[in-house]
Amino acid sequence: MSKIITLVAALLAVVTVASPAVADGPGWSDGDNRYGYVEVSADRKHITVCDNYADSTSVYAEYATTYLLKHTVKDEKGGDLECGEDSVFFGTITVFKICFRFNHVSRYCKNSVWIKR
């Protein structure tokens, strides 16, 4: 039981490290025009991440659901027309953040976006 409590605490710490931003509207998005963006559908069931350029910067999103599960979705083929997508079947997406990995070495994530209605 203590392993489960430790896991849940660790997952919450990962998505709350940065100061949260709150988004409202028909859907949610965050990004950087230089590298890429992430979008969450209005029903909070689908997430899309797009890498704008085929370069040495990779773009991905980390997100959590109402069941406290943490997931990562990537755009594996940066710069093409297809983006990385994922869906939630149980619960909804509650928080997400866009992350960038530069030259396969350093990592930067923007502030978390908490989804509230």
Question: What's the alpha-carbon Rg for the chain, to the nearest Å?
Answer: 14
The pTM of this model reads 0.74
Domain that includes residue 81, residue range: 2-115
The domain that holds 33 is classified in CATH as: 2.60.40
| 4-40 per-position pLDDT tens digit | 444 334 443 333 333 344 444 579 999 877 889 999 9
Q: Which structure tokens are listed for 92?
A: 């909804």
Beta-strand relationship, 21-23 and 113-115: parallel
Q: Which two tokens stand for residue 114?
A: 């908490």
User: Does an H or E element contain 74, and which?
Assistant: strand 70-74
pLDDT (tens digit, 9 = 90+) per residue, 35-50?
A: 899 999 999 999 999 9
Distance from C-alpha of 10 to C-alpha of 12, rounded to nearest angstrom: 5
Domain count, the chain: 1
Measured distance CA(77)–CA(58) in Å, rounded: 9
Q: Which one has a higher pLDDT value, 63 or 56?
A: 63
Q: Rounded distance, CA 61 to CA 110, Å?
A: 10
